[in-house]
Chains A and B, each alone.
Chain A
Amino acid sequence: MTVNELKSMWATVRPGTEEDLAGARRRLMNGMRPRRRFATAPRMLVAAGAAAAVVATPLIVATGTPAYAVTTNPDGTITLAVNELRDPDALEADLRAAGVAADVTFLPTDTWCAETPRFDSVDAAYNGNEVLTRGKEKEWRSFQATRILSLRELKISPEHIRPGETVVLEYSETPAGPAPWRLGTWLAKAGSTVKSCTPVPRPAS
């Protein structure tokens, strides 16, 4: 009872806004300047793109690592590691060879797909474009079928995918953010066509 009264006390104080926190964020970013600079995948792409433009040669990204890797694990799950947003068609083909029907889209910086919704989702994880709230991870099959292991690695669990369903992956570059890209992972219902994506500017959030 005491705790309830305390919970109500000054409860109208609102969470810090972006503006309230801008200085603190800046201090943190300054304080965590790395001793050495890490080239994330999009940066390497941009650098390679700039070089290609100068010498007018086709874009060749010489990173020493493949753009992505599809690995089938002993437990039947599939690990997808993405290093660069390149060649979605080849990635789809490799996932298909691993037994997963997937639709992969790589989106340029700060864009999302104009078509909303692009497909019928098996659950409420997909609402047309962005994300929902936290806390439904265990309930939604979209999230059981595709578990994000790290910023670059995704585990696909075929046991949660029913016949005819398609894994939909949307990667959107975010070079200014802390992560190299935003990733949306969902499951399209069996029989639902996944419309191709027309990138349009993402509204500022």
Chain B
Amino acid sequence: MTLAREDVHVDDAVLIERSLTEPEVFAVLFDRYAPLLHRYVTRRLGPGEAEDVVADTFLAAFQRRGAYDRGRPDARPWLYGIASNVIGKRRRTETSLYRAYLRTGVHPAQTANTQVEDGVNTLAVNLPLARALLKLKQVDRDVLLLVAWAELSYQEIADALAIPLGTVGSRLNRARAQIREALPPRTGE
């Protein structure tokens, strides 16, 4: 999909501000970020609920747009923060997904049209990862997956979850330590 120049160059803060008087402009933000947000949610909850979560996230964002900090040209942290709350309400779906993966070795979004991770090596890493993710506290999992799957910086995560930067670091350290314990030892290290 190509983007029009105005889509590329108007920063998110300007779009959000414009959307206060021209609400339909908010749809540009949706077109800009919904595909990757959908991917993030699909990885965490599976494909069944991703569309609902994306819709809930953007509707909540739309309703709160008046309070958006216009000093932040990139709205991704804001959107992922809202999405984290929406995902948090569906934590049972998330844990069920990890359990199902532990049983089957297949993520439900990877059954069609994509390469299924059926390699022995991949499973040898992913199964322990799924087991560890299942055991993490929700708040730690949020931070870890915002780093790994949403590719946000620590500062962006602090903004997203409205927590101090130090808390991002400590949650991440805790999560990484648990994950590391769960992984099989590497050879040659």
Q: Which residues of A contact B (CB under 8 A)?
A: 1-3, 5-10, 12-18, 20-21, 23-25, 27-29, 31-34, 38, 40, 130-132, 134, 137, 143, 147-151, 172, 174, 177-179, 181-185, 205
Asked whether, in the complex, the Cβ of A205 is within 8 Å of the Cβ of B30, the reply is: no
Asked whether, in the complex, the Cβ of A183 is within 8 Å of the Cβ of B27, the reply is: no
Number of interface residues of B (CB under 8 A): 59
CB distance from B25 to the nearest CB of A (A): 5
CB contacts (< 8 Å) of B54 on chain A: these are: 16, 21, 24
Contacts A28-B62, A178-B25; A143 near B9 (Cβ below 8 A):
yes
CB contacts (< 8 Å) of B27 on chain A: these are: 25, 28-29, 32, 177-178
Contacts A32-B26, A178-B26, A183-B4; A12 near B117 (Cβ below 8 A):
yes
Asked whether, in the complex, the Cβ of B7 is within 8 Å of the Cβ of A179, the reply is: yes
Give the complex CA separation of A40 and B24 in angstroms. 11
CB contacts (< 8 Å) of A148 on chain B: these are: 5-6, 9-10
CB distance from A8 to the nearest CB of B (A): 8
Give the complex CA separation of A174 and B3 in angstroms. 13
Asked whether, in the complex, the Cβ of B38 is within 8 Å of the Cβ of A15, the reply is: yes
CB contacts (< 8 Å) of B10 on chain A: these are: 148-151
The 7 closest A-B pairs by CB, nearest first: A16-B38, A182-B4, A24-B55, A6-B148, A15-B35, A178-B27, A27-B55
Contacts A3-B148, A28-B58, A32-B62; A16 near B6 (Cβ below 8 A):
no
A sample of 15 more A-B contacts (CB under 8 A), given A16-B34, A147-B9, A178-B25, is A3-B147, A10-B43, A10-B110, A12-B114, A14-B114, A16-B38, A25-B34, A33-B23, A38-B21, A134-B3, A150-B14, A179-B6, A179-B7, A179-B25, A181-B6
CB contacts (< 8 Å) of A132 on chain B: these are: 8
